[in-house]
Structure 1
Amino acid sequence: MKRVLCAFFAVIAGLSAATGTATGAPAARAACPDGKPGHVRCLTSYAPAVRGLADAPSGWGAPDLASAYRLPASGGADTLVAISIAYDAPNLEQDLNTYRAQFGMPECTTANGCFRKVNQRGDAGPLPVFERGWAIESTLDVSMVSAACPTCRILVVEADDPQLGNMAATVDTAVRLGAKVVSNSYGGKENGSAMALAKSYAHAGTTIVAASGDSGFTAASFPASLSSVVAVGGTTLARDESSPRGWAETVWQGSGSACSAYVAKPRWQKDKNCAKRTVADVAAVAETLAIHVADVGGWVTVDGTSASAPFIAGLYGRTGHFGTPGDLYGRTGFFDVVTGNNDPRLGGAKCGGDYLCVAKPGYDAPTGVGTPDGLAAF
């Protein structure tokens, strides 16, 4: 295992996917439709594979992320990180290992004990029906966990459908099966029915992570709005050879930020313009990620805080340290994102131009306390 992991990190400098999609590539489309009442939707969009261009990645790959976030060249815990998801992705294990092989990571399979997929009750079968959009989401999730933590084991818990109660059940099942980190790349509207499920997203000794949403500054997304959940916003990543880091980040325009209408202000949040819980807590790249999805033709590029959340979940898994969102506040070990906003049509006017939708020095809602600078903050 150690020899193979060394091979992964040895290719970081040499394997780097090009940014963006190819000229003439189709525009990104939402992977999942808007959720029906009482349901959630996955939070990703993708550019469909282009004939002749789908046999190699065209977005940011694992080595790019390792470079941008200064991840160490070796090491990591074998933490069990779980993915809470709806429906089945029959090719998930194959797609995951195509991704890992492309970027020099060891296999993560059912046979070697690294990968496991179960239904919401924790059984190997029967699994739910296939749904293509959610399969794209599943593939993105396991790929981003792998990029952040090549040594982590992965558990995928598939709900029968994206009803709120079924999604909450997947989190409870994941924890029961031993997951120390659970990633949730979906969201729905805050309401009383959703809040009744809050206890499923609060488990002592387990870190629960959720995507903040892909609609910019708007109403808060559940479960990201819960104070027991690490809410993860998104950034746009670019190379910047003029800087010591070699990379630059700005707010991804879709990055979800919000003031909760239901969740009380946690004592660890000190911002002034939300009377209740503010989303987000932290951020990571959410745009132009390369993943392999056989069901849509091969290598595609994807956007969304659905990428940011599992990447942060993988960092928790890699350190083997677990906690609550409040543990991130006041720590060092973050890049401060100070440019961009998630209110592109109004240039930040929707929130009055303040930190709720415009990047500022220090805490701001679209990117929280910032993006990871290594593993120190986790």
Structure 2
Amino acid sequence: MRRTASFSVVASLATAALALTAPVGQAATTASPAHGVTTARSCAAPTQKDVMACNALKVTAGTPKSARAESDLTAAAAPAGYGPTSLQTAYNLPSATGGSGQTVAIVDAYDDPNAEADLAVYRSQYGLPACTTANGCFQKVDQNGGTSYPRGDSGWAEEISLDLDMVSAACPNCKILLVEATTPTMTNLGTAVNTAVNKGAKFVSNSYGGGESSSDATYDSSYFNHPGVAITVSSGDNGYGVEYPAASKYVTAVGGTSLNTSSTARGWTDTVWNGAGSGCSGYDAKPTWQTDGGCAKRTVADVSAVADPNTGVAVYDSYRTATGWMVFGGTSASAPLIAATYALAGAPSAGSYPASFPYAHTSALYDVTSGSNGSCGGSYLCTGTAGYDGPTGLGVPNGTAAFTG
């Protein structure tokens, strides 16, 4: 059934949060996350070192451009925001046939007691196969792999619902493992990443970030150096500036775009979302597969997908203050979409670093060549351009070939 939702966007961000996400040697900039709608952060911005915030943006007022997109494509009543058909079509994903037997892990903080029930509503709405504990498709564990779940949190529950729904939209045949960290410290979230890998997940999505620090090299080796596992991380929602763990050289940093229908042969077009994080890491070494000359260290991002709340995605969440069907944006949407795209491509080869795969298959991506996420003297670090650029990396998926290796 069609619902008219109340939607969202934050007008300003705390000075402390901006300082945390500003790259070394660059002033923090305030980015307007979307035009035409008003949004709110699901999670409070981090105000101390090594504490992360989720990157989900909930539309709270206004009508997104994507409001009727799914209904227009399917000729069936649908909630506002892009759903599975829109996303699969826009990114040429083989979702009907791919992903069988693959497990995508979602790492978030705190507990969403309604996660499985809300996921069932989303998947039923769009005719996706059931994904439940009973049929072996869905599993929820704490950060140590047990069932001593942390306390519930409504903001992180919205993030969890967004993540579960985006994996479902892109890869309906994938299994989903939800790993809930006790708190949003990097240590607890990193422990959850290790648990996801230890439980066999070859694809791990992380939709959170905070300020870089001198501890990042230690976190890299302790939590993110997992050869043969595709680990995706959202690049952030504050515009030009770098967050960790997106800056880790071992992960695929996922930027954000505005996704609109167009009269092109593709039928869709992506432009830089002005809220997407990008820039030069102040701490992490440059991976060998990155060859851009504007950053001596790691450059963010690698690839991208829709993240603009004004072209946002449909999400169902009912925990505490949530209202059911809502529209979300933020790079919290793009990171699980890319994790699911890796899963559609099949298990990474043993010993490989999947973050390198897109760099070997640039022709299998739709390049994003316009838009900006801040002021950087017009360089590629904050401006969409032909080839590689900071806000969108090498581009957005055109099928799965760029995510194989």
What TM-score, normalized by structure 2, do the two folds share? Answer: 0.82
1:255 corresponds in structure 2 to: 276
Q: How does 1:226-375 map to 2 (within 5 A)?
A: 226-240=248-262, 242-287=263-308, 288-295=312-319, 296-322=322-348, 323-331=353-361, 332-343=363-374, 350-375=375-400
Moved more, 329-338 or 229-238: 329-338
Moved more, 129-138 or 70-79: 70-79
Which residue type is aligned with residue 34 of structure 1?
Answer: A
What whole-Å deviation, never above 9, does each CA across 1:140-190 have from its counterpart, x for those lacking one?
011111111111100011011101100100001111111111100000111
Residues 94, 26 of structure 1: alpha-carbon distance in 2 compared, 3 angstrom cutoff: farther
1:207 to partner: Cα distance:
1.0
3-state SS, counterpart of residue 215 of structure 2: helix
3-state SS, counterpart of residue 82 of structure 1: strand
Q: Does structure 1 conserve the Cα–Cα contact (< 8 Å) formed by 2:313 and 2:328?
A: yes
3-state SS, counterpart of residue 111 of structure 2: coil
1:21 to partner: Cα distance:
5.4
3-state SS, counterpart of residue 174 of structure 1: helix
What whole-Å deviation, never above 9, does each CA across 1:35-84 have from its counterpart, x for those lacking one?
1322100001102499xx9x951111111001111122621132111111
1:18 to partner: Cα distance:
10
Which residue type is aligned with residue 301 of structure 2?
Answer: A
1:42 corresponds in structure 2 to: 54
- The answer on 1:152 being equivalent to 2:183 is no
Q: Does structure 1 conserve the Cα–Cα contact (< 8 Å) formed by 2:137 and 2:175?
A: yes
Moved more, 187-196 or 141-150: 187-196
Q: How does 1:83-98 map to 2 (within 5 A)?
A: 83-98=106-121
Moved more, 31-40 or 221-230: 31-40
Q: When the two structures are aligned, how many residues end up with a matched partner?
A: 350
Q: Does structure 2 conserve the Cα–Cα contact (< 8 Å) formed by 1:18 and 1:59?
A: no
Q: How does 1:97-136 map to 2 (within 5 A)?
A: 97-124=120-147, 126-136=148-158
Residues 315, 49 of structure 1: alpha-carbon distance in 2 compared, 3 angstrom cutoff: same
Which residue type is aligned with residue 378 of structure 2?
Answer: G
* Structure 1, unaligned runs of 5 or more: 1-14, 344-349
1:31 corresponds in structure 2 to: 42
1:99 to partner: Cα distance:
1.0
Q: Does structure 2 conserve the Cα–Cα contact (< 8 Å) formed by 1:145 and 1:313?
A: yes
Question: Separation in 1 of the partners of 2:106 and 2:344?
Answer: 15
1:330 to partner: Cα distance:
3.6
Moved more, 67-76 or 243-252: 67-76
2:198 corresponds in structure 1 to: 176
Residues 243, 170 of structure 1: alpha-carbon distance in 2 compared, 3 angstrom cutoff: same
Question: Separation in 1 of the partners of 2:343 and 2:88?
Answer: 15
1:143 corresponds in structure 2 to: 165
What TM-score, normalized by structure 1, do the two folds share? Answer: 0.88
* Structure 2, unaligned runs of 5 or more: 9-35, 68-76
Q: Does structure 2 conserve the Cα–Cα contact (< 8 Å) formed by 1:17 and 1:61?
A: no
1:208 corresponds in structure 2 to: 231
Moved over 3 A (4+): 15-22
CA RMSD of aligned residues (A): 2.3
Question: Separation in 2 of the partners of 1:363 and 1:189?
Answer: 24
Q: Does structure 2 conserve the Cα–Cα contact (< 8 Å) formed by 1:16 and 1:61?
A: no
What whole-Å deviation, never above 9, does each CA across 1:97-126 have from its counterpart, x for those lacking one?
1111111100000000000001011002x2
Question: Separation in 2 of the partners of 1:26 and 1:373?
Answer: 28
1:188 corresponds in structure 2 to: 210
Question: Separation in 2 of the partners of 1:158 and 1:359?
Answer: 35
Residues 18, 316 of structure 1: alpha-carbon distance in 2 compared, 3 angstrom cutoff: farther
3-state SS, counterpart of residue 123 of structure 2: helix
Moved more, 175-184 or 196-205: 196-205
Which residue type is aligned with residue 201 of structure 1?
Answer: F
3-state SS, counterpart of residue 146 of structure 1: helix
Question: Separation in 1 of the partners of 2:346 and 2:95?
Answer: 17
Question: Separation in 2 of the partners of 1:16 and 1:148?
Answer: 22
3-state SS, counterpart of residue 401 of structure 2: coil
Question: Separation in 2 of the partners of 1:182 and 1:71?
Answer: 19
2:188 corresponds in structure 1 to: 166
